[in-house]
Amino acid sequence: MAPHSESKPQQILPPYTRRGFIALTTLAASCTQAPPLSNTPVPRRVPPTDPRQSMATDSYGPTPRNPNLSLDSNFNRRAGITFTRVPVNGKFIALTFDDGPHPTNTPRLLNILRERNVKATFYVIGRSVNLYPQILRQTVAEGHEIGNHTQTHRLLSKLSDSEVLNELRRCRDSIAQASGATVRTMRPPYGGLLPRQREVVHAELGYPTILWSVDPLDWKRPGVGVVSSRLIQGASDGGILLAHDIHAPTIDAMPATIDSLLRRGYQFVTVSQLIAMKSEASAAHATATTSNS
């Protein structure tokens, strides 16, 4: 009558297996993994930055507001094929959100951005656009930029050229049908797009590939404070900040993140505005400084 003493000393495997499964599915569901940098800036005509923009460094109210920026976003398509950041003269930065629209988190984020007059760039998945077209329309109506994040979020580096272009064209069409918005840039899921594929995408669709300079790994849910501090500490002039508007804690991190960056003098612009501001002097400097690495 001592069944327990006869039981096998196992029962260790199932929990580990389950944990492994969760880790795997978490990994599969998110974008990560920056590929190697390949910034090859090309000199181009540069619109001057607007001298009317004054940074509100003396404003320490509860909700700092981004200045009203009327910047050119008609960047030259030859400006570059891949961007992880953009050399600019000034404290300009782009906030980007991937994988939406999301039915509750995206609207909550839009409220936070609106209060601060911050315009962001949303790399949306066409499949989600088709599910939540009204949220995309609201995003566009509030002045944000929409980027192409493919129709079904597959790893493009494993696909043929025609499959890659099909993923991007379907997403472009989903966006246009839902909102009428024109897409200027793309971001590959997981950052996975081979240099040769980037050239094909640029030649066929005119999209530069937009990666990022700061990845807070928010999809791993490290906590609101960690997401916020990683973004703030990683910020730099011309930086592109990556986040995901499908995760509630990421949205929770945004007020403190944005307020801190505004108080540090950063001005938020969209990705295509940032590219349009690309400075020849900075580009030359960036080329010189990155040639050693």
Residue 244 annotated among the catalytic residues of the structure: yes
Of 98 and 252, the one with the shorter C-beta distance to Ni ion is: 98
- Residue closest to 86 by CA, chosen among 283, 224, 287: 283
CB 280 within 8 A of CB 44: yes
Restricting to residues 70-89, name those near Ni ion by CB under 5 A.
none
98 is catalytic: yes
Residue in 98, 218, 245, 259 annotated catalytic: 98
Q: Which is nearer to Ni ion, 66 or 96 (CB)?
A: 96
Site string for Ni ion, 172-211 (x = CB under 5 A): -----------------x----------------------
Q: What is the number of alpha carbons within 13 Å of residue 60 lying toward its C-beta?
A: 2
Query: For 197, phi and psi rounded to 5 degrees?
Result: -65, -35
Q: Which residue is nearest to Ni ion (CB)?
A: 31
171 or 231, CB closer to Ni ion? Answer: 171
31 belongs to the binding site for Ni ion (CB under 5 A): yes
**Contact predicate 98/63, CB 8 Å:** no
> Could you please report the per-residue DSSP string of 77-105?
GGG-SEESB---SSSEEEEEEES---TTH
Of the candidate residues 98, 218, 245, 252, the single one contacting Ni ion (CB under 5 A): 98
**Contact (CB, 8 A) for 82 and 42:** no
**What letter represents residue 292's amino acid?**
N
C-beta neighbour count of 93 within 10 angstroms? 25
CB of 191: closest distance to Ni ion in angstroms?
9
Q: Which is nearer to Ni ion, 92 or 132 (CB)?
A: 132
Q: Compute the least distance from the CB of residue 98 to Ni ion, in Å.
A: 4
Q: Does 99 bind Ni ion (CB under 5 A)?
A: yes
Binding residues for Ni ion, per CB under 5 A? 31, 98-99, 189
